Structure 1
């Protein structure tokens, strides 16, 4: 049960961090590189959710930039989808293997546990890159640290 509690908390953090980055991007001057990275985070969340459902994700965009208005919709959709998925999952399902193909058609298989962990961590990597882009144009990076979320 401990892993599920941790993953639930990590996905709450993911949503919180996405909201903070979105607000920062909405309130600042347009930064194409930061917007592209943020769009990628949201597209990737959708791709992994599609794979977790057992559906084909090879047709879904992964690096397509979308407007910040579309990002709002994507954040809400991803939050809803993962919320429902996590509500249905149990410890007995975590080691179930998910077979999927990446965008190049290469087949992989990973456990639900590993995929959920990856999704929760993947966005944090790119949010760090976004903060680096913001700092490069003399904007204050947004604190999206997990411990700040827990406070």
Structure 2
């Protein structure tokens, strides 16, 4: 299971970078597009903190300048992969207790958290692409199967 989850994280990095690269080509991207892509990256960091039981000092709607997004995505990918590589498979299925951004207590497994992160990012990347599509010659394709085929 660890290998599969790392595989999903690798795909997520590839897809995030394609959208970030497109954002970088737009002269004046919509502020909503920047905010949503920043949310993807900030939420990923918040989920990491929950899994690793570490305090994080970002909100889920953190302002991240486009010029910092590539470095942020790559750093967080390394951090998540390194973390996942250190846990044993049984830990992936243990409940983790945490509070969401509204202070409500929940418990979910690391496997479910990582799966959620992947789906959450895909949903929001679609929003970003929709916002910047009119400003691009060609919209970035971020489909999993395109990445899997060597995209």
**Gap regions ≥5 residues in structure 2:** none
**Gap regions ≥5 residues in structure 1:** none
Question: TM-score normalised to the size of structure 2?
Answer: 0.90
Map 1:57-76; keep pairs closer than 5 Å: 57=56, 59-76=57-74
Identify which of 106, 117, 123 aligns with 1:119.
117
Give a deviation string over 1:60-95, Cα, whole Å, max 9, x none: 211122211221231122111111012112321111
User: Could you tell me how far apart the structure 1 residues matched to 2:73 and 2:96 are?
Assistant: 24
**Greater relative CO, 1 or 2 (CA 8 Å, sep 6+):** 2
Identify which of 51, 75, 80 aligns with 1:82.
80
Map 1:37-116; keep pairs closer than 5 Å: 37-57=36-56, 59-116=57-114
User: Could you tell me how far apart the structure 1 residues matched to 2:87 and 2:122 are?
Assistant: 23
User: Could you tell me how far apart the structure 1 residues matched to 2:141 and 2:98 are?
Assistant: 34
Q: CA RMSD in A?
A: 1.5
Matched-pair contact (CA < 8 Å) for 2:36–2:128: yes
Superposed displacement of residue 138, structure 1:
4.5
Q: 1:12 is matched with which residue?
A: 10
Question: TM-score normalised to the size of structure 1?
Answer: 0.90
Name the count of aligned residue pairs. Answer: 147
